[in-house]
Structure 1
Amino acid sequence: MEGQAVSASWYDGLSAVRRDGTAWLDETGSLVLRDRAGNSETVPPGDLVYGESLQAETVYRRESVPDFRLRLPRDLPPALASALPAPTRYGRWIDRIGLGKAALAFAAASAGCVALFMTAPEWLGPMVPPAWERQIGNAMVGDLGGKICHTPEGDAALAKLLDAVDPETEKVRAGIANMGMVNAVALPGGQVLLFDGLVQQAETPEELAGVLGHEVGHVRERHVMTSILRQFGLSILLAGSNSGVGNTAFGVASLGYSREAEREADEYARARMAQSNISPLGAAAFFERLGGGGDEEDRDGDTTGDAGDNDEPGLIGWIASHPAPGERAKAYRDSAREDAEYRPVLTQAEFAALKTMCDQDEDVEEFEFF
């Protein structure tokens, strides 16, 4: 015998007969098995794989003979032990590097996946092809059906207001939805909706100019798809304009943008209003009336103070989905020029046409939540 022999028992995989004998390594490094009758067979160590660990034995299998089983003592001579496959507990690569290092690797990979998931909307949103975005936006507007208000005077007034806060040649499309919610939304594909509840809350056309300019800012800064991807995930891209996408139209009304995106949209609105010589004091008054004036922000960004005592329940949705009204009101008020001679953005008749637009439209449908 070339190497030190140890006791062994095995099934050759060809019969159900158990064989008992000895095992050792020959001069070529192959494992020799000899039973008590003197019959020998040679097994290349590279053909052996670890099977399981028993109380006093280790079981090995053969890659080339599925039913082969070999039992050897757990306490083997060093030369024989080194030639056999090492026992595994968690998997080959985990056993190779150790459970601790494997756990750290899993943790790092998990953290990377979470980071990718959290940041994907930020870089993926602006990369969505405009054709896809328009398709999704059209589906959402289509879900509103005949609930968009139209009158000749109101449409003209809205177009004039939009022209003042959107100087681009290819205008954002705007409409007023027959909904009592105090809100406004920017939809994919360059579309903005003011809800009639918000229009009724506005006391001056400059207030509406601030809100409309803010939503146009979301469109121009390409915040919309980023926010939609964050809320609805990639499924909305995969759905395209198929059935089901339009059902998210009302969920878009509660989209949450990041504080940075909200401030960028406000900055865009203030810049466009300054360019068109529109007073920002109207927008400041609007936000103060929503509960901001002088309130402080808590650590989570919610307003504290008398905002919760507002007599208009519909205002709460607007406050909850935007930065602190007090902060926004101050930014608009600070942007006003002391020596400026601001011109009215709409006449009183045009403003009135917006206010009565949904009432005057005999064909518009009423939106019901239930």
Structure 2
Amino acid sequence: MKNIFVQAVIVVGCFLLIWFGFSQVDFMKAFKVKENTENMEKKLGDMIWNQVEETEEVITNDTIIKSLDTLLKPLCDANDIDRDSLKVHIIKKDEINAFALPNNHLVVYTGLIEDCKKQEALQGVLGHEIAHIEKNHVMKKLSKEIGYSVLLSAAGGTKGGEMARELLKTLSSSAYDRKLEKEADITSVKYMLEADIDPRPMADFMYQMAQDSDMSSAMYWIADHPESEERAKYILDYIKGKKIKSKPTMTEKDWKAFQEKVGNE
């Protein structure tokens, strides 16, 4: 009986020693998981953006770029987001779309800028995409749909162009799951409220998309009608009862001039 007790004490003691030893090990550091993931994200983001540059018309007009930045800056300033960390690109394309890529790339199509009736609607979309970046939704989506090991292989492989096209299609033409989309929507609304920007036009924009029957002519930022109506509703529910300070970032004249210049580019 005494021997059994001694053996039990030894077993428990060994277990505690092993547990304590493992608890002192920083496995993330030991296996460089975080470092590898960050390197992978940078390589993937740059690889996909290179693919976009090769196949799309990138807007380089300084006036247009500065105007978009004027709308973006208040969201960043009011929410402690490093504006310089965001790589914002404008693509000449009629599609009503915007999307985030790995490594903080944010792509906006001219079709989206032209279609927004109010500047606050565009700011809401920008905030939504920034939220995807800040909340690490981009890599979560790719890891879930493509697989972490495949992404790791792609970042260090030779079939860059082929994989870049697949990843670009995944990020630009398919929605995140509803949980992530809702988190990005509500986070964008919070960004706007902090920046004294009225979020109601963002909900109006979603409802506008839901009512648009011509879905074949463009790939819309909002993929399907019922979901866009639902999203508009929970945004309005979230802001109900909140004090909204409406302070347009641009004058109406400057906003219209921006849209006109984008359309003529």
Q: 2:186 aligns with which of 253, 257, 267?
A: 267
Q: Which stretch of structure 1 is more off in the superposition, 210-219 or 317-326?
A: 317-326
Describe the shift of the 1:157–1:317 C-alpha distance in structure 2 as closer, same or farther (beyond 3 A).
Answer: closer
What is the CA deviation profile of residues 149-171 of structure 1, one whole-angstrom value per residue up to 9, with x for unaligned ones? Answer: 12222111111222222331244
Q: CA deviation at 1:321?
A: 6.3
Q: Which residue of 2 aligns with 1:196?
A: 110
| 1:219-230 equivalent positions in 2, closer than 5 A | 219-230=133-144
Q: Which residue of 2 aligns with 1:186?
A: 100
CA distance in 2: counterparts of 1:345 and 1:323, whole angstroms? 31
Q: Which amino acid aligns with 1:201?
A: D
Q: Which residue of 1 aligns with 2:29?
A: none
Q: 1:246 aligns with which of 164, 171, 182?
A: 164
Q: What is the TM-score with the length of structure 1 in the denominator?
A: 0.54
| 1:101-250 equivalent positions in 2, closer than 5 A | 129-145=37-53, 147-166=57-76, 167=79, 168-169=81-82, 170-233=84-147, 234-240=149-155, 242=158, 243-244=160-161, 245-248=163-166, 249-250=168-169
Q: Which residue of 1 aligns with 2:30?
A: none
Q: Which residue of 1 aligns with 2:255?
A: 351
Q: 1:324 aligns with which of 208, 222, 227?
A: 227
Q: CA deviation at 1:315?
A: 6.1
Q: CA deviation at 1:138?
A: 1.2
Q: Secondary structure at the match of 2:136?
A: coil
Q: Secondary structure at the match of 1:319?
A: coil
Greater share of strand: 1
CA distance in 2: counterparts of 1:147 and 1:199, whole angstroms? 15
Greater share of helix: 2
CA distance in 1: counterparts of 2:61 and 2:195, whole angstroms? 25
- 5+ residue gaps, structure 1, are 1-124, 292-306, 362-370
Q: Which amino acid aligns with 2:227?
A: A
Q: CA deviation at 1:255?
A: 3.2
Query: Is the 1:181–1:197 contact (alpha carbons within 8 Å) kept by the matching residues of 2?
Result: yes
| 1:19-98 equivalent positions in 2, closer than 5 A | none
Q: Secondary structure at the match of 1:175?
A: strand
Q: CA deviation at 1:352?
A: 3.5
Q: Which amino acid aligns with 2:185?
A: D
Q: Which residue of 1 aligns with 2:200?
A: 281
Q: Which residue of 2 aligns with 1:366?
A: none
Q: Secondary structure at the match of 1:240?
A: helix
- 5+ residue gaps, structure 2, are 1-32
CA distance in 2: counterparts of 1:236 and 1:353, whole angstroms? 42
Q: Which amino acid aligns with 2:74?
A: A
Cα root mean square deviation, aligned: 2.8
Query: Is the 1:157–1:353 contact (alpha carbons within 8 Å) kept by the matching residues of 2?
Result: no
Q: Secondary structure at the match of 2:120?
A: helix
What is the CA deviation profile of residues 247-287 of structure 1, one whole-angstrom value per residue up to 9, with x for unaligned ones? Answer: 23234212331211111101110111000000011101101
Q: What is the TM-score with the length of structure 2 in the denominator?
A: 0.73
Q: Secondary structure at the match of 2:249?
A: coil
Describe the shift of the 1:314–1:230 C-alpha distance in structure 2 as closer, same or farther (beyond 3 A).
Answer: farther
